[in-house]
Amino acid sequence: MAGRIVIGLDAMGGDFAPSEPVRGGYMAAKENPDIDLILIGREEEIKKYLPSDLPNIRICHASEVISMEDPPALSVRRKKDSSISVGAELLKKKEISAFVSVGNTGAVVSAATLKARLLPGIERPGLAVVFPTMKGTPVIVIDVGANIDTKPTHLLQYGLMATVYCRAMWDGVDDPKVGILNIGEEEGKGISTYKEAASLLKQSGLNFVGNVEGKDIFKGVVDIVVMDGFVGNAVLKVSEGAAEAVVKLLKQEIYESSWWTKIGAILFLLPAYKRLKKKIDYSEYGGALLLGINGVCIIGHGRSNARAVRNAIMVAVKEIKRKVNDRILKELGNLKVNIGGEN
Amino acid sequence: MAGRIVIGLDAMGGDFAPSEPVRGGYMAAKENPDIDLILIGREEEIKKYLPSDLPNIRICHASEVISMEDPPALSVRRKKDSSISVGAELLKKKEISAFVSVGNTGAVVSAATLKARLLPGIERPGLAVVFPTMKGTPVIVIDVGANIDTKPTHLLQYGLMATVYCRAMWDGVDDPKVGILNIGEEEGKGISTYKEAASLLKQSGLNFVGNVEGKDIFKGVVDIVVMDGFVGNAVLKVSEGAAEAVVKLLKQEIYESSWWTKIGAILFLLPAYKRLKKKIDYSEYGGALLLGINGVCIIGHGRSNARAVRNAIMVAVKEIKRKVNDRILKELGNLKVNIGGEN
């Protein structure tokens, strides 16, 4: 087993568990005989959905389930035998190199932070999401809600972790541009945490380009936008909501149109629409990345289907192969500013 | 002149000034002979774009212009003869009942707050934007950036002002539902300002329904969502960006498709698309409302065309006729919690 990559998958997380996680895990394991997959959750239920046995799939029984609606921190403390708690425990013991879940985001963040702990020097984990842009290049938004008690050094560390992630994972992006969210583009505007963070980022040695407005995120003017978890969570949810609303309103318009338009839309628009949906569906990007954890942790969308789960696993595998965490630790030492205390 | 409504319009604001503001003002004045309109800005330039003289249009010369890129507070202090400063001065002197601008938002907020001042009892102005929802009903998001140093009482006051606005302006909405933005829907989550504000709103007597997530804004689950100006600005800009990106990506998909799809899209989709654009274009709603100012103040989008300017003026007229500010003052006295100190 030495040297083999072992991935732990939360089989009970998400809106379509255990069916879709199990099927997605199966896809990934079948396509990649060089990785080992541990399905974590209720054994009987997992077996029901597993198409067949594979030599590189094992089941780790966990009797409890943290639902999407459960209070995150509390349920991690109470449900010690939940798939999420057990997965985080395996990550802590280094029995798995990565934990992948499409379950309760807050619970995964809590469990991973509490058990696997943070990388030395990192004060808070950052949840990063990859968005598509109009330019065609992706953009990383960090933090979308792992931490709402945000200090300037956290924002600096988000910028660093995302920079390392870009460099390591995306070929051809050697010096990713980092922006910080703000109101307007004037320097010195905005709240004090952001001002101080901008000043740290400026001296850090990262490719910091200054303030970025919300409207610029999707334009692809930068590769990384750092913000605090409260704002970032709103940004993430509102983006999803706005995109969904536009698509729904367009559908309504077509539905309320003449039968001509309806037939036309079905005949001509459907393929373009399907490709669009694939582009804006962030499950295609493999879910959110919980950066800063001592171990790889990927959190997919609750609505993930099997394909999205498979994609999330493949992102985790790539993150392990490209040694993202080792590189974060190395780069932390190269920063030209004081990154704050230990965690 | 007694009893006539007088509106001041910033003729120099926005991306298409003075042409579009002047034309929009002309439209409004021509359609509504019962209102008086004062065009504020460079007389010679205004005259160039004014289609003809009307008995209810006057020009108030202002020699300076605050551009969209000028630093807001600073330019208001420096450019005392700018259309925005002069407009705010007229509002202060009650020579106009409302000031309408599609210019530099921050400058209008600064000028109006500094000169016309706030309603007694209101601590900070709130910039409110009306969004369309999937349900078909509109939703007010407040504050989208008038104030970034936000206290719990400010959030309470935003909820109150928006409630009064809904009741006064929208027929059939007597008891608008107020939500507060947060991460997740659990009570007690989120940062302390929001927690305290939620507690105030709960006791206020307003129809407060609790926490609302970013993704719910466009679903129409509430009529009003309160948040601080930093988050609100991000929410506003990101919504615009996401909607724009979806539309652009769809266009790209169509463009890259077969000529079949292209012809189909042009023939069948264009009318539906145009109606959609009208629905999601917030200039159709008459721009943002700067609530809490001692006088009516409407700030339209910088990209406003003549029609959007006309719509913004009509919102201002309605706000005056329906005595929104008088009603805010009255309702402040009816609140069941302490609203904080005087401004």
Q: State the ipTM, two decimals.
A: 0.83
Q: What is the pTM of this model?
A: 0.88
Torsion of CA A183, A188, A191, A195, to 10 degrees: 120
CA distance B273 to chain A (A): 7
Coil, strand or helix at B223: coil
Q: Out of A280-289, B22-31, B63-72, B251-260, which region has the weakest mean confidence (pLDDT)?
A: A280-289
Closest C-alpha to A162, from A149, A146, A179: A179
The percentage of chain A sitting over the pLDDT mark of 90, rounded to a whole number, equals: 68
**Phi/psi at A158 (5° precision):** -60, -45
Q: Out of A56-70, A91-105, A196-210, B237-251, which region has the weakest mean confidence (pLDDT)?
A: B237-251
Q: Do B239 and A242 touch (CB under 8 A)?
A: yes
Closest C-alpha to B194, from B239, B149, B150, B164: B150
- Selecting from A183, A245, A261 the residue whose C-beta is nearest the C-beta of B218 gives A245
Token representation of residue A109 = 């963040």
| Chain B residues whose beta carbon lies within 8 Å of the beta carbon of residue A249 | 132, 134, 276, 279-280
User: Is the separation of the CB atoms in A37 and A57 below 8 Å?
Assistant: yes
Minimal-distance CA residue of chain B relative to A257: B272
Residues B59-111 pLDDT 10s: 999 999 999 989 898 999 999 999 999 999 999 999 999 999 999 999 999 99
Minimal-distance CA residue of chain A relative to B235: A235
- Selecting from A183, A246, A264 the residue whose C-beta is nearest the C-beta of B269 gives A264
pLDDT for res B156: 97
pLDDT for res A148: 86
Indicate the average pLDDT of chain B: 89
The string over A274-301, giving b where at least 16 C-beta atoms fall within 10 Å of a residue's C-beta and e elsewhere, is ebbbebbbbbebbbbbbbbbbbbbbbbb
- Selecting from A237, A250, A271 the residue whose C-beta is nearest the C-beta of B276 gives A250
The percentage of chain A sitting over the pLDDT mark of 70, rounded to a whole number, equals: 89
Domain ranges of chain A: 1-120+292-322, 123-287
- Selecting from A149, A249, A263 the residue whose C-beta is nearest the C-beta of B280 gives A249
* CB neighbour class for B336 (10 Å; exposed up to 12, middle 13-18, buried from 19): exposed
| Chain B residues whose beta carbon lies within 8 Å of the beta carbon of residue A247 | 246
Q: B189: pLDDT confidence band, cut at 50, 70 and 90?
A: low
Coil, strand or helix at B134: coil
Could you tell me how far CA A97 lies from the centroid of its own chain? 16
What's the mean pLDDT in A34-52?
A: 97
| Chain A residues whose beta carbon lies within 8 Å of the beta carbon of residue B198 | none
How many CA atoms within 13 Å lie on the side-chain side of B77?
4
pLDDT for res B279: 64
pLDDT for res A256: 74
Q: A342: pLDDT confidence band, cut at 50, 70 and 90?
A: very low
| Chain A residues whose beta carbon lies within 8 Å of the beta carbon of residue B235 | 214, 234-235, 238
Q: Which residue has the tokens 């999707």?
A: A218
Q: Show the CA angle centred on residue B53, arms to residues B51 and B57, nearest 5°.
A: 105
Coil, strand or helix at B43: helix
Closest C-alpha to B158, from B56, B289, B20, B50: B289
pLDDT at B1 over 50: no
**Could you check whether B1-122+292-323 and B124-287 share the same CATH topology?**
yes
Residues A55-90 pLDDT 10s: 999 999 999 999 998 988 899 999 999 999 999 999
Taking domain B124-287, whether its CATH number is 3.40.718.10 is answered by yes
Q: A142: pLDDT confidence band, cut at 50, 70 and 90?
A: very high
pLDDT at A271 over 80: no
Q: What is the strand order of the sheet A178-181 is part of?
A: A57-61, A35-41, A5-10, A98-101, A296-299, A288-291, A126-132, A138-142, A224-226, A178-181, A208-212
pLDDT for res B342: 46
Closest C-alpha to B5, from B316, B293, B328, B330: B316
The percentage of chain B sitting over the pLDDT mark of 90, rounded to a whole number, equals: 68
How many CA atoms within 13 Å lie on the side-chain side of B251?
9
pLDDT at B285 over 80: no
User: Is the separation of the CB atoms in B61 and B43 below 8 Å?
Assistant: yes
pLDDT for res B245: 80
Three-state secondary structure readout of chain A: CCCCEEEEEECCCCCCCCHHHHHHHHHHHHHCCCEEEEEEECHHHHHHHCCCCCCCEEEEECCECCCCCCCHHHHHHHCCCEHHHHHHHHHHCCCCCEEEECCCHHHHHHHHHHHHCECCCCCCCEEEEEEECCCCCEEEEECCCCCCCCCHHHHHHHHHHHHHHHHHHCCCCCCCCEEEECCCCCCCCCCHHHHHHHHHHHHCCCCEEEEECHHHHHHCCCCEEECCHHHHHHHHHHHHHHHHHHHHHHHHHHHCCCHHHHHHHHHHHHHHHHHHHHHHCHHHHCCEEEECECCEEEECCCCCCHHHHHHHHHHHHHHHHCCHHHHHHHHHHHCCCCCCCCC
Taking domain A1-120+292-322, whether its CATH number is 3.40.718.10 is answered by yes
More confident call, A121 vs B279: A121
Closest C-alpha to B127, from B298, B330, B284: B298
| Chain A residues whose beta carbon lies within 8 Å of the beta carbon of residue B275 | 253
What's the mean pLDDT in B296-302?
A: 93
pLDDT for res A1: 42
More confident call, B33 vs A303: B33
What's the mean pLDDT in B182-205?
A: 81
Coil, strand or helix at B106: helix
What's the mean pLDDT in B15-27?
A: 97
Q: Do B261 and A238 touch (CB under 8 A)?
A: no
What is the rounded CA–CA span in Å between residue A61 and residue B151?
48
Residues A184-242 pLDDT 10s: 655 555 688 999 999 999 999 999 999 998 888 999 999 999 999 999 999 998 988 88
Domain B1-122+292-323: assigned CATH number: 3.40.718.10
CA distance A262 to chain B (A): 8
More confident call, B240 vs B2: B240
pLDDT at A92 over 80: yes
User: Is the separation of the CB atoms in A8 and A98 below 8 Å?
Assistant: yes
Torsion of CA A169, A172, A175, A181, to 10 degrees: -70
What's the CATH class of domain A123-287?
alpha beta
Residues B109-160 pLDDT 10s: 999 999 999 999 999 999 999 988 888 889 999 999 998 889 999 999 999 9
pLDDT at B264 over 90: no
Q: Out of A92-96, B79-83, B211-215, which region has the weakest mean confidence (pLDDT)?
A: B211-215
